[in-house]
Amino acid sequence: MGFSLQAWLFTRTTGYGQEGKFSGPLKPMEFSIFEGQEPSQPIFQFKANPPAVTFKLTGETDGIFQIQSDGLLYHNKSLDRETRAVHRLQVSALDAQGNTVEGPVPVTIEVKDINDNRPVFLQQHYEGSVRQNSRPGKPFIYVNATDLDDPATLNGQLIYQIIMQLPKVNNVMYFQINNQTGGISLTPQGSQELDPLKNPSYKLLVSVEDMGGLSEHSFTDSVHVDITVKENIWKPPEPVEIEENSTEPYPIKITQVQWNDPGALYSLVDKENSPRFPFSIDQKGDIYVTQPLDREEKDAYVFYAVARDEQGKSLSIPLKIQVKVKDINDNPPTCPSPVTVLEVQENEQIGSSIGTLTAHDMDEQDTINSVLEYRIVDQTPKVPQDGLFLVQEFSGILQLVVQSLRKWDTPQYNLTIEVSDRDFKTLCFVQINVIDINDQIPIFEKSDYGNLTFPEDTAVGSVILTIQATDADEPHTGSSKILYRITQGDSEGRLEIETDPQTNTGYVKLKKPLDFETVAIHNIVVQAENPEPLVPGVQYNASSSTTFRLTVTDVNEAPQFFQQVSEAKVSEAVAKGTKVGNMTAKDPEGLDVSYSLRGDKRGWLRIDPATGEIFSVALLDREAESLYRVQVVATEVGGSYLSSTAQFHLTLTDVNDNPPRLVKEYTGLFFCYPPKAPGSLIFEATDDDELTFRGRHFTFSLGSESLQKDWEVSKINGTHARLSTKHTGFEERVYNIPIRIGDGGRPPLERTVSLPVTFCKCVENRCFQPAARMPGIPPVGMAVGILLATFLVIGIILAVMFFRMKRDKGQHNAESAQASETKALRN
């Protein structure tokens, strides 16, 4: 029998015989063979060593594996991994007498899986139920399928999907499936929209596919799933009403909640963060109040019940729990204040309302517990009689019921009023003051205060006259307080009158400056009035008014500008002689005005002395001063030559008159020498023109085309550029690179600047340049020679000086000896 070895057979052994890949000596071997292959396929050729002449095969052959006498191992049937995934065989070498001379050795055959089995659902039909508003993504039913192929390979990897949903409302899928686990759950739309009243049941067609759904040769199976939608019982309970301060034993069950399925974990959440939260919930969903409630402390509670699974995840939206605290009559009425003070005029008519006593009750409003009744139980004094007042039973309004009051009978009454609800009584106290009526008018002490004369420059706020009126009504009341009002002679409101609240004295003061040129004589009429209205039948008359005559004398005043600050705006490029502004002033006395400038430090402007028109007389420069401020002086012509000043502000708008320049002097740009690779340096440009909202947009280029083979300039942004070298063949020296910078303005301006770049040796990434010999400085050898010669000259000088000093000392000694001898002879 002859065989042809197939390339798709492979082994997991190492080391084969010399005769080929699929033959070798008898030793332990492992082989992997795909199931479903054609029978009679060779596996391996074992070689016998003498005296072995034949081979024997034992073990889990299952009638499939055989070995020829020459040692060729093969299978005569197709393999099936699902029947046996691993065959464990033994091969022995025999001699001519059938005795084992080598072995047995183990031979393991692993059957590799192919996709030859389709997935099959475990049930022919599935049924499940789900409650409306269930949490999306939480499975409520699983479908399962099996595949006999190897689950460790793609052949046994199953993918689930929903093929069809009936009904499909508005083309929206209410259900979803986990493609790995087969768990069916609600989509977010399904969680919100499922309603058993609209569609109580749904039918799904679910498919399963092997090969991970990645191959067109995969197998599939499908199954029907019937789903019943149940009503959601996770609903907020009806609002609860609890009577306050209940004496029943606590805790007291007040309501309950229930999740759709057993096993939920319940808790309460107080989103109001109340300092006291008197509620609890057990794991049956029963909600309790744990202590007495006080409606006056808090009349209602709103909190939420939450259901969670064992992992602590919320099963659905929290339920709102509303608790209203029911009122009981446990609070007595309270008075608005220790004493309520009211006023009544002495001429009030019978039945008039004096005021209202408003007591309070902390119990719930608009209930029987807070209905209050009022009753007067005492009046002090009982003059001229008792029972002068009445209080309305339920409103607390006090009225006069017998006669009008008179202050001289008694200026004050005190009432004790009983305020009661259904169970409690409280005494409140009311003080009623009888006040005087405004039946007297103010009367001036003078009907005419005569003539007053003041210059027009009298200071604002000055008191020019004191007036006095009196009122016979009760002092320090609205009936006797006097307000003074100018009714004639001051149409421009230059005067005002302040009243002393203690004495009712009126002080006439200047509110605005006087102006002789406008009005020279004011005939003033003043009216005295009370803030309280007069009683019917009483009216103000001539006794309540007075007059005085105010004469304003002329004062020579300086010219007055129509505006103290004048602003103008022109381009800095305007021609000489252009009118840039105008300022005018008027002299109150009507004299002519002459104009001049002060503070024109740059000499840019001149002013027409007669008209006040301002002209440019030199070229303006915004970069030197963008806001130019000068003073305009207006001087009256003739008279006292008084003058006044005003400000003139000239704003200069920019024109493009400054070419670009480097932002600084670049003196430290360098590359290390010798350069190992092309490098680059960054520099920045600017100009002195005004920065616009678009910013600066310069252009950069080399100033000479001859440099383009060595250098390159590239723009980074509107103000920065990069200077780069194109090679490394530079000398160790300084290169001055001309850079052309343009601003693109109107008109466009450009400037060529020089950028010095040094190629130098570097130490620690810094440029190192030895100090060069400066002109006039000798070399080291010459300097040493000069120094030695200097020391020699100094030595000679010192020696000469020492010799002369020694000689002078000897001569002095000789002269001394000679003198001594002469003296001795003389003796």
Statement: residue 588 has pLDDT above 60: yes
* pLDDT recorded at residue 808: 59
| Residue 9 resides in a domain | no
Is residue 421 domain-shared with residue 517, that is, in the same domain?
A: no
Q: What is the pLDDT of residues 457-493, one digit of tens each?
A: 899 999 999 999 999 887 888 888 999 999 999 999 9
- Please tell me the pTM assigned to this model: 0.38
Average pLDDT on 219-225 reads 95
Task: Report, as an integer, the average pLDDT of 496-519.
Answer: 93
Pick the last residue of a domain from 388, 417, 435.
435
96-109 pLDDT, tens digit per residue, is 899 999 989 999 99
* Residue 822 confidence (pLDDT) above 80: no
Q: What is the pLDDT of residue 784?
A: 55
Q: What is the pLDDT of residue 400?
A: 92
Helices (H), 296-336: none
* Residues 315 and 358 occupy one common structural domain: no
- What is the predicted pLDDT for the residue at 819? 38
Q: What is the pLDDT of residue 771?
A: 53
Answer whether residue 649 shows pLDDT above 50. Answer: yes
> How many whole angstroms separate alpha carbon 743 and alpha carbon 328?
87
CA 229 vs. chain centroid, Å, equals 47
Residue 289 shares a structural domain with residue 273:
yes
Instruction: Please spell the DSSP secondary structure of 110-130, one letter per residue.
Output: EEE--S----EES-SEEEEEE
Q: 256 and 206 share a domain?
A: no
Q: Is the pLDDT of residue 371 over 80?
A: yes
Classify residue 774: in a domain, yes or no: no
**Residue 827: inside a domain:** no
Same domain? 210 vs 294: no
Residues 670 and 763 in one domain: yes
pLDDT of residue 316: 82
Are 54 and 80 part of one and the same domain?
yes
> What pLDDT, on a 0 to 100 scale, did the predictor assign at position 18?
32
The per-residue pLDDT for range 300-353, each reduced to its tens digit, is 999 999 999 888 988 888 999 999 999 888 889 999 999 999 988 877 888 889
Single residue among 600, 635, 653 that ends a domain in this structure: 653
Within 10 A of 18 (CB to CB), how many other CB atoms are there? 8
The answer to whether residue 825 is domain-embedded is: no
187 located within any domain = yes
- pLDDT of residue 590 exceeding 90, the answer is no
- Which of 720, 750, 767 is the C-terminal boundary of a domain? 767
The answer to whether position 1 is within a domain reads no
456 and 534 part of one domain = yes
E-strand ranges in 654-791 read 661-662, 670-672, 680-686, 699-702, 711-715, 720-725, 734-742, 750-763, 766-768
Residue 448 lies in a domain: yes
Same domain? 107 vs 185: no
Report the number of distinct structural domains present in the chain.
7
Yes or no: say if 419 and 335 are a contact pair by the CB < 8 Å rule.
yes
Same domain, 245 and 316: yes
Collapsing DSSP to helix, strand or coil, 46 comes out as strand
Does residue 820 carry a pLDDT above 70? no
Are 223 and 149 in the same domain?
yes
Query: Domain range spanning residue 532?
Result: 442-553
* Predicted local distance difference test score (pLDDT) of residue 11: 37
Indicate whether 294 and 367 sit together in one domain: no
Provide the pLDDT for residue 380: 95
Q: Assess if residue 537 is contained within a domain.
A: yes
| pLDDT of the residue at 253 | 95
Residues contacting 560, CB < 8 A, separation 6+: 585, 586, 587, 588, 644
For residue 58, what is the domain's CATH number? 2.60.40.60
pLDDT (tens digit per residue) in 25-64: 999 999 999 988 888 889 999 998 888 999 999 999 999 9
- The 10s digit of each residue's pLDDT in 542-575 is 999 999 999 998 887 888 899 999 999 999 889 9
Residue 768 token pair: 């190192």
